[in-house]
Structure 1
């Protein structure tokens, strides 16, 4: 009990210190090649090794609250951005602005360049994993230190994506009540262990401001899986929850490993599609260990 209390006090102390040192979060925007404004947020140590967080469908940078608040991660430079069609970023009204995976790859490249992040570790949740894959297919891995997929979408195929036809149909309905009920149902599917009401309501608000054309277009978004994963030399880690209801963990891992057998994998028990929220303590520890395992020269300025 004494040891547990000491650890709790140490964590509180680190949180207070990190808050004092890095309380002033940084907010700015970068512009993608096709003109979409991307909202970027930073926290942590501005001189620390950079980690770029990429949220999933219907999310925003707010998805990473449990990582932003973890005192153990504060010595890293924490960077997040809102994907096109989400959060505070631009929301093109044409579905064509969302179908080509290369456009999403260009967004990530713009954030890397605009933030001046040297060899960042990329962390992509769900759709964010597909964004990383497309980035690797277009730009290769020379500008990054590694990538962590969490609940990552590997391919948008029936073999890897469970059918929730009614939910996805409601999400793109023109009737507002049906649309919002679809958003709520989708968010419930993200979790095996449901979040508290405050977090869920915030995530639902995130979903409500996401672009409708984007939601209609994303199911047909292109993912260059073979080109993205085949020749990657930097470390890759794939983490899934065993009870993921939105992607097939075993099939997704098998497909990714068939292209790149060097991928490291972990499956969390008692977790669904969002292990970084449902099992945040374990995830943050695994993230920290993975970041620290990357070659030191990746962080040298």
Structure 2
């Protein structure tokens, strides 16, 4: 574990496990979480002999609770600072949700040789918010509601998200894992309210269309059809079509947080793509 300091003085916390000469896999977490959300996948790939790295986005987890930089360009620049500091080559970048947007923007701009492949899981690209150009998106009022709930009672809002739509625990017959809910809440509350508030705009209104078009490396786009956070039809199928070398993997009935609820299903598919 360590930190990297960016050009504006922000300290980015990261974990770095495994052999230094092994192929690196870099994980990008969702909103409003931290690198800890990848514990299952990091242990899984570590056992397969990979070097696994995950960072806390600025304002999240153990990174600096900065006043500025809570938008995708800076998030991607922070990742570039981390990969430069660690001198990573031929890395596989795996991003979930907001982290999928961050990964897409970084990979589209990465230096030659830095990236071998990418995986976007339940990811926000191409763009979430509804507009004339994106009629299938979510109305801006949805995200205004997120901001209102966060500002009014962040602690309760995070309980409601984790115990409800994020993992599909609000579906009839769903069996809730209290540990998973508590861990989501713990990670969220560790970060900064201002960063989380501003990140809502970043994940919902950023258009990743050009990023996806520019990516040359193979990309796996994995998404559950019962994703209540990033609806399937307006995300994964559209992203896979924009990519030059994209592949769509659909999980029927799985939720946004399927990496936690169904790792036994998803992890082997991620590994198979990485090994190809």
Same fold (TM over 0.5): yes
- For residue 256 of structure 1, what is the aligned residue in structure 2? 239
Match of 1:246 in 2: 229
Q: Is the 8 A contact 1:52 1:121 kept in 2?
A: yes
| Alignment partner, residue 87 of structure 1 | 61
| TM-score, structure 1 as length reference | 0.79
The 3 A distance-change label for structure 1 pair 290 and 71 is: closer
2:172 matched to which residue of 1? none
Alignment of 1:62-141 (within 5 A): 62-70=36-44, 73-94=47-68, 97-99=69-71, 101-139=72-110
User: Which string of whole-angstrom CA distances, capped at 9 and with x for unpartnered residues, describes residues 113-169 of structure 1?
Assistant: 122221110000100011012213433664201100011011131334476458514
Pick aligned residue for 1:181 from 141, 144, 156? 156
Could you tell me how far apart the structure 2 residues matched to 1:185 and 1:166 are? 16
The verdict on how the C-alpha distance between 1:199 and 1:254 changes in structure 2, with shifts beyond 3 A counting, is closer
Contact 1:167 1:185 in 2 (8 A): no
Q: Spell out, residue by residue over 1:181-205, the C-alpha distance to the aligned partner (whole angstroms, 9 max, x if none).
A: 1111222321125652223212201
Map 1:264-275 → 2, pairs under 5 A: 264-275=247-258
CA contact (8 A) 1:56 1:125 kept: yes
CA spacing shift, 1:144–1:130, aligned 2, 3 Å:
same
Match of 1:204 among 185, 191, 194: 185
SS of 1:240's equivalent in the other structure is: strand
User: What TM-score comes out, normalization by structure 2 length?
Assistant: 0.86
1:148 maps to 2:119 = yes
Q: Is the 8 A contact 1:170 1:182 kept in 2?
A: no
Residues 282-297 of structure 1: matches in 2 within 5 Å? 282-293=265-276
Give the total of aligned pairs: 261
1:203 partner SS: helix
Change (3 A) 1:37 1:258: same
Runs of at least 5 residues in structure 2 that lack an aligned partner in the other structure: 131-135, 170-174
Matched residues in 2 for 1:166 and 1:139: separation?
A: 32
- Say if 2:213 is the partner of 1:216: no
Query: Cα deviations across residues 229-256 of structure 1 (Å, max 9, x unaligned)?
Result: 1132210001111110011112212321
Of the structure 1 ranges 162-171 and 198-207, higher mean CA displacement relative to structure 2 is found in 162-171
Deviations 1:252-294 (A, max 9, x none): 123213422531011112310022111101221111111111x
- Bigger CA radius of gyration: 1
Q: What is residue 20 of structure 1 aligned with on the other side?
A: none
Q: Which residue of 2 aligns with 1:233?
A: 216
Consecutive unaligned residues in structure 1, runs of 5 or more: 1-26, 294-301
CA–CA separation in structure 2 for the residues paired with 1:275 and 1:287: 13
Counterparts of 1:184 and 1:170, CA distance in 2: 15
